[in-house]
Amino acid sequence: MNNTTRCVASLSPLVLLVLANLSQASESETMVITANRTETAISDVAATMWVVDQYELEKALNTGADLKNVLGQFIPAFDFGSNARTNFSQNLRGRTALVMIDGVSLNSTRNISRQLDSIDPLNIARVEVLSGATSVYGAGAAGGIINIITKKAASEDLMVETKIGAATGFNNSDDHSKQIAVALSGGSEKLRGRVSFAYSETGGLYDANGNIVRPDITQTDLQFNDTVDVMANFEFIADEQQSLSVIAQYYNSEQDTNYSTYLGENLMGLFNPALIETREGLQLNEQPNTERMMFNTQYHHDDIWSSQLLVQAYYRSESIRFFPFPTIVKVQGSPLPGSAYPIYGASEQNTSVLGAKLALIKEFETVTATFGVDASEESFDADQTLFDQVTSVNSGGMVFTPAQNVQRYPDVDSRYAALFSQLEMEVTPELLLSGGFRYERIKHEMGDNVGVLQQHLSQLGFYGNGKPETIKGGKTDYDEWLFNFGGVYHLNNAMQVWSNVSQGFDVPDPAKFFGQGQYDGPNGEGASLVSSTSVATSELEGVKTNSFELGWRMDDGDINAQVAAYISLSDKTVSFDKTSYAVLVEDDDKRIYGVEGQAVYQLSDAIYTGINAHYVKSETKVNASWQDLSAAYASPSSASVWLGYDEVDFGAELRVNSFLSYEDDGGAKLQSYTLANLSTYYALAVGRLNFGVTNLFNRDYETLWSQRSQMLYGLSAPKEIFTHNGQGRTFAISYSATF
């Protein structure tokens, strides 16, 4: 059985919005739901999309892997995941992906990379992944779109879904995880719904040598983490033409650990890495978490002015908390050598979004036209808790007592609006064309801000009766036209070629660009600004990406194959200052080109094999010369190969995943590793018993995020702090049943 359903979607602004209203993935590999909300043959559409269905997703998750790792294995152009909570730099075709649940974006103006820490797998019907920059959905989709489609009630009959499971590497009593989940669905002819509750608890992660993995004090990890996901959806069918659906979710993923990275007494480990170790004894009341609430309402009418009307309104709020992180600055009068002044701080960042989408779809004899509008308002704020200096420093980063609360980033209020139009035309029975435009306007209102050190010193009375100078906020706005055009040509009944050109646009993180300031004083600890990146003095430019793609596919019974070559070009390169972590936008062209593909062959009714691969080259133009993109941000080429057996009562699949080492022109290197996972199941009289193994051969390696983390944070502290080994061989067992 194929592990990934291949699917493509025409470049319509609603291709992902309408998917949010579907109840289940189509079992047919030859059909896809497109913008007109009707089933359309894959052979009739002109862009690359991968669909991971519920069955294959569950099979991979039963090995003990999480969602971001599974998608990294299944989607050729999506980078491998890691054990961390973050999916930062887990690129799609070398660029940032827009992640959604049922058409509601999880990306924000302050783009914190926790979009895949968002949902329990029990609630996922399938995952749709559209590769490449696209004008389909607006800002944030330079690399493509990942849309998580949730389960809905499949019928009017009462249905119960259950799952219980556990995982361990048999290292010690801390090395175990467990999960339990249940869902009820059903209803009547007019009204039906589904309600679910899922709880999971992870223990410590241990590497191939039996040592606990070093905690991630930057983007945080998922060791000793409790997750709750409560979801409910209801669909009201008024008549044959009208339907209304409502979806609500509460998600909370929170750490509760006793482990931390010990930096030596008085943080001497920052100067002598031999003192750094992972140990118990952490005292921290408020630990890292991701908490999210989401509401999504959709209305559909089949006959408004002889057209289909689609309306969606949604609200999302989230709170994201980080781990205390040490910063060493200099303050005149500090008793430490060299006027060193250590500060421990942990931020909590809050976002709320209210939005709506509307589209009108009109079908003519050979043409389908779509017109619509998107709009949203977003508010962001961030605080930072500063901890008692003596306690946190003397304990080596193990004991934290809150002492102050300061502003971490400037507040950001954003408004977004877009108009779009799309045409799809059947030119001949063999040739179909699609094209359209999108006009979008983005406005940011930045609040005032004061440097964290200055706020801290001011609360201590360092400036006497004076106050540190404020970095003024202000308003910025952007407007952009985006276009797309594509076509597909039928070579025969089983084979097609397609091509498309599309544009994407994004504004780099304004909260990490504006509000940065250099103050006076012997070490920059003064109260007066010397320079700043305020709205009045600095311009944050948006980044436009042009994407070109040429693809071929074949679905001929036992053989299913697809390959696409692409190139994406942008006139800016975005990175981060490795000292202040502020956003940097350089006027350096950036190009990413590559080939992605997959082939699956059914050897017999029960035995199958497959391979997917992605070759990618990432470059930036510096001083008129193309150079390799920094390894901290570049995607490595990768591949997966699998062999499986699947029949009614028993199934097993072995999958091997690997990526090629990548070294940039500066010598920074991402070191390759190869991992094997095994998944099996056995059907019982009621339900199914699942067994899986991750890292089957107990490979000793550093995760991709660990290697990137050392490059991103290595200037501020020894790399040993940011070294996170991969999880060793782990066994998972679970029981699942549907009644």
Using alpha carbons only, give the angle 658, 48, 594 rounded to the nearest 5 degrees: 50
- CA pair distance 542, 478, nearest whole angstrom: 8
Greater model confidence, 23 or 212:
212
pLDDT, position 111: 83
| H or E element at residue 199 | strand 191-201
Contact 302, 308 (CB under 8 A): yes
Name 428's Cβ contacts closer than 8 Å, sequence gap at least 6. none
pLDDT, position 35: 30
pLDDT over 80 (residue 153): yes
- CA pair distance 305, 302, nearest whole angstrom: 10
What is the average pLDDT score of the chain?
A: 91
pLDDT over 90 (residue 292): yes
- Residue 541 gets the label, from left (phi > 0), alpha (psi -120 to 50) or beta, of beta
Q: Are strands 97-101 and 144-150 parallel, antiparallel or unpaired?
A: parallel
Distance of CA 682 to the CA centre of its chain: 32
Name the pLDDT band for 132 (thresholds 50, 70, 90).
Answer: confident
pLDDT, position 36: 30
pLDDT, position 41: 56
Contact 114, 87 (CB under 8 A): yes
The pLDDT tens digits of the residues spanning 64-99 come to: 899 999 999 999 999 999 888 999 889 999 999 999
Name 361's Cβ contacts closer than 8 Å, sequence gap at least 6. 14, 35, 36, 37, 307, 308, 309, 310, 368, 369, 370
Strand intervals (E) in 507-589: 516-519, 529-533, 543-556, 559-570, 573-576, 583-586
pLDDT over 90 (residue 154): no
Name the pLDDT band for 337 (thresholds 50, 70, 90).
Answer: confident
The pLDDT tens digits of the residues spanning 545-557 come to: 999 999 999 988 8
pLDDT over 70 (residue 62): yes
pLDDT, position 5: 42
- Label residue 282 exposed, middle or buried (CB < 10 Å: 0-12, 13-18, 19+): buried
pLDDT over 90 (residue 12): no
- CA pair distance 444, 377, nearest whole angstrom: 10
pLDDT over 90 (residue 48): no
Number of alpha carbons in the 13 Å side-chain half-sphere of residue 460: 14
| H or E element at residue 58 | helix 54-61
Distance of CA 219 to the CA centre of its chain: 13
277-282 CB contacts, 8 Å cutoff, 24+ apart: 278/211, 278/212, 278/213, 278/214, 278/215, 279/398, 281/398, 281/399, 282/257, 282/258, 282/398, 282/399
The secondary structure of residue 463, as a DSSP letter, is: T
The pLDDT tens digits of the residues spanning 380-429 come to: 999 999 999 999 999 999 999 999 999 999 999 999 999 999 899 999 99
| H or E element at residue 56 | helix 54-61
Q: What is the mean pLDDT of residues 218-242?
A: 95
> How many residues are recorded in the chain?
739
Domains of the chain (ranges; CATH) run 5-738 (2.40.170.20)
DSSP 429-442: SSEEEEEEEEEEEE
The secondary structure of residue 635, as a DSSP letter, is: P
Name the pLDDT band for 585 (thresholds 50, 70, 90).
Answer: very high
- CA pair distance 116, 133, nearest whole angstrom: 20
pLDDT over 90 (residue 137): no
Task: Give the number of other CB atoms < 10 A from CB of residue 402.
Answer: 13
Q: What is the mean pLDDT of residues 356-378?
A: 93
The pLDDT tens digits of the residues spanning 679-735 come to: 999 999 999 999 999 999 999 999 999 999 999 998 888 999 999 999 999 999 999
pLDDT, position 639: 98
pLDDT, position 25: 34
